[in-house]
Amino acid sequence: MTDQELTFPSDFLWGAATAAYQIEGAAREGGRTPSIWDTFSHTPGKVVAGHTGDVACDHYHRFRDDIKLMADLGLRSYRFSVSWPRVQPGGSGPANQTGLDFYRELVDELLAHGIEPWVTLYHWDLPQPLEDAGGWPARDTAARFADYAQLTHAALGDRVRYWTTLNEPWCSAFLGYGSGAHAPGRSDPGDAVRAGHHLMLGHGLAVQALRAARADHEFGVTLNLYPVTPQTQDPADADAARRIDGLANRFFLDPILRGDYPEDLRNDLSGITDFGHVHDGDLATISTPLSMVGINYYSRHVVAAPVGGAPAEPYWRAPSCWPGSEQVRFVTRGVPVTDMNWEIDAPGLVETLQRVHREYTDLPLYITENGSAFVDAVIDGQVDDTDRLAYFDAHLRAAHTAISSGVPLRGYFAWSLMDNYEWAWGYTKRFGMIYVDYDSQLRIPKSSARWYAEVIRRNGLAAQ
C-alpha cells in the first residue's frame, strides 16, 4: 500500500449484520411462536403493502448458502440476532431445543468458515404473550429478558464470545410505544419512557448474569446515535437541539455509561412521568460495566424551535416519538438523501464516535450498523449500486478519521448483508450488499459487495 491509502488497524473486525425477523422466515416452524412483529405485520394497514416476515429471505433454510456468500466476501465477523420466540416460545419457561439447534448449527457453520459469530439477543421481536402481559412498559419483562439471555448464552456460550444485549432500544421504546410506527403499535408517551427504562434494566440484568457465567466474554449494547445540530445559533434552536439530544442519545448513554438520567431530561419529561418506575438499585444495574459499546449510525438530526403547531413528519421524526418535546421542528437541509429520505452525512459519524469516546467511555467501540437504502435494479444479471458503494466509502473514511483522532474503534459491520424485510416498509426498501429476489430467493452480490470484499482483503481504502 502507498502512503496515500488508508490502512485500518491489523486487528480491525470487518463484518456485516442482519436481524432475525428481517431474514429468517420460517415463522411457524421448529416451535417458533408469534412475536410482536408477526402480530403487527399481519394487522391491516400497519406495514406497506401488507408485507410480513413469514418468509423474508428464507435464511432459516438457506443459512449454509448464505454463509458461503459471507466467506466469499471475506467477512471476519457476522452479527446476527437470535429470535426470542424461536428460542423461548411464549417468553418464559424452558428453552425450545429445536430453536436453539438452528443457532447452534448457524454458529458451527460460521466457525467452520473462519467467521466470528456476534450475537444480538434482542432485535425487536418480543414474544407476543409478553406484550399481552404489558410488554416493555411492564417491569417484569426485564426479568424475562434476562432469563431468555441466560438460556441462549448457556447453549451458545461455548462458541460465541461477542454478545450484544439490545439493538437500538430507542426504536423499541419510542417507535414501538410512542409513535406506534413499529410493533407493537402502541402510542402512549408514558409507556414509551417506561419501556426505555425497562429495556435498559433488562440489559443490565442480562449482562450481570452472563458475565457471572463467562467473565472472559465480551458484553455490550448497541445504540442508534445521532449528532443533533441546531438550525441556527438562536438560543431557542439550541434548546431544541438539547431536547432532542436528550431523548435520542443521552436517555440511553447516561444511564448505561454514567448510572443516571440527565437532570435536564428529567425536567423535560416532568409533565409525562415522575420517574417513579425507577426503583432503588435500577441505575446501578443498568450501568453494570461493559466491555464494548456498539454504535449504529445513519444520519444527523437538524432541529429548530417550534413555530406554531408541530408539522407532520416522517415516522422517525413524528412528534409522538419525542415525548415532552413534541413541538420541536426537524429541518430538512436539501442535502443528498437515501431512499429512506435520510440525509447522507458522513462527518456526523466522526462527531458521534468522538463524542462517545470523549464524554462517556474509553471502552472499545464498534460500528454495529451503517448502510443505506437505494433503489436497485438487476440489469443483465448484475446490480450496480454505485450510490451505496459511495455511501460505504465515505463512512469508512470517516471511521478512519475517527481512529486517527484517537477513538478506540475496533470494527465495522455493514448494514446489511442482504436485502431484507425493512420493518414497516416491508420489502420496498433495499439495504443489502447482496440483492435478494424475494420470489425466487436468488441472491446476487451487488457492486458494493465486491467493493467491500476488496476493502477487507486490503484492510483499507484506496487513495482518493
Annotated catalytic residues are 168, 369
Tell me the H-state helices in 262-385: 263-268, 282-286, 347-359
Is there a contact between 325 and 243 (Cβ–Cβ < 8 Å)?
A: yes
C-alpha to C-alpha distance for 71 and 64, rounded to whole angstroms: 11
C-alpha to C-alpha distance for 401 and 447, rounded to whole angstroms: 25
Is there a contact between 439 and 426 (Cβ–Cβ < 8 Å)?
A: no
For 328-360, give the DSSP string. Answer: PEEPP----B-TT-PBP-THHHHHHHHHHHHHT
- How many C-beta atoms lie closer than 10 Å to residue 230's C-beta? 21
In sign, the C-alpha dihedral spanning 228, 232, 234, 237 is negative
**Cross-strand partners of 164:** 120, 220
C-alpha to C-alpha distance for 359 and 257, rounded to whole angstroms: 10
User: Between β-strands 434-437 and 442-445, what pairing exists: parallel, antiparallel or unpaired?
Assistant: antiparallel
C-alpha to C-alpha distance for 351 and 354, rounded to whole angstroms: 5
- How many C-beta atoms lie closer than 10 Å to residue 406's C-beta? 10
